[in-house]
Copies of this chain bind each other. A is one copy, B any other.
């Protein structure tokens, strides 16, 4: 089950390969263009650029770097899912790293829906693969909320 979820998620990530070529960099920008276009209410978490449009994101060095980081993070989740101790440690580190943004804790689960919709702009995502990402999201979220609770931070 865990191995199959990992396999399906890794397979779907092949559509957004990482690298230093322009096409790789564009995949990262496209993630934030998708987010800013379809979830404009989440722009509040991007201090100083809350008013950015997709066109602004396209030409922004901040989002070129941020996009590469976000895509790498998604790849790391897919690559580590089979080794649950590493996956969960990466979840906790992700929570620690985002602490400063004071995010609504409900967003951690929502990310997985958003990300699959982004992937669908890049490749066909079948139902089995969507369910794999949803399962990964449930495991991620359980660890994330438990860690937030341990840190005495808002959790759901």
Not counting A10-B83, A76-B80, a sample of 18 additional A-B residue pairs whose C-beta atoms are within 8 angstroms of each other reads: A18-B85, A18-B88, A19-B85, A19-B89, A20-B92, A65-B96, A69-B93, A71-B89, A72-B90, A75-B80, A75-B86, A75-B89, A76-B76, A76-B90, A79-B79, A79-B83, A79-B86, A80-B80
Q: Cβ of A68: which chain B residues have Cβ within 8 Å of it?
A: 89, 92-93
Q: How many residues of A contact B (CB 8 A)?
A: 24
Query: Interface residues of A: mostly helix, strand, loop or mixed?
Result: helix
Q: Would you give the shortest CB distance from A50 to chain B, in whole angstroms? A: 24
Q: In the complex the two chains form, what is the Cα distance from A89 to B27 in whole Å?
A: 14
Q: In the complex the two chains form, what is the Cα distance from A71 to B98 in whole Å?
A: 19
- CB closest residue in chain B, given A72: B89
Q: A72: which of B17, B71, B72, B93 is its contact (CB, 8 Å)?
A: B93
Interface pair B86/A72, CB less than 8 Å apart: yes
Q: In the complex the two chains form, what is the Cα distance from A93 to B17 in whole Å?
A: 15
Q: Cβ of A69: which chain B residues have Cβ within 8 Å of it?
A: 93
Q: In the complex the two chains form, what is the Cα distance from A133 to B93 in whole Å?
A: 24
Q: Would you give the shortest CB distance from A5 to chain B, in whole angstroms? A: 15
Q: In the complex the two chains form, what is the Cα distance from A90 to B10 in whole Å?
A: 16
**A150 CB–B CB distance under 8 Å:** yes
Show 15 A/B contacts (Cβ-Cβ < 8 Å), sorted by A.
A18-B85, A18-B86, A18-B89, A19-B85, A19-B89, A20-B92, A20-B150, A65-B96, A68-B89, A68-B92, A69-B93, A72-B89, A75-B86, A76-B86, A79-B83
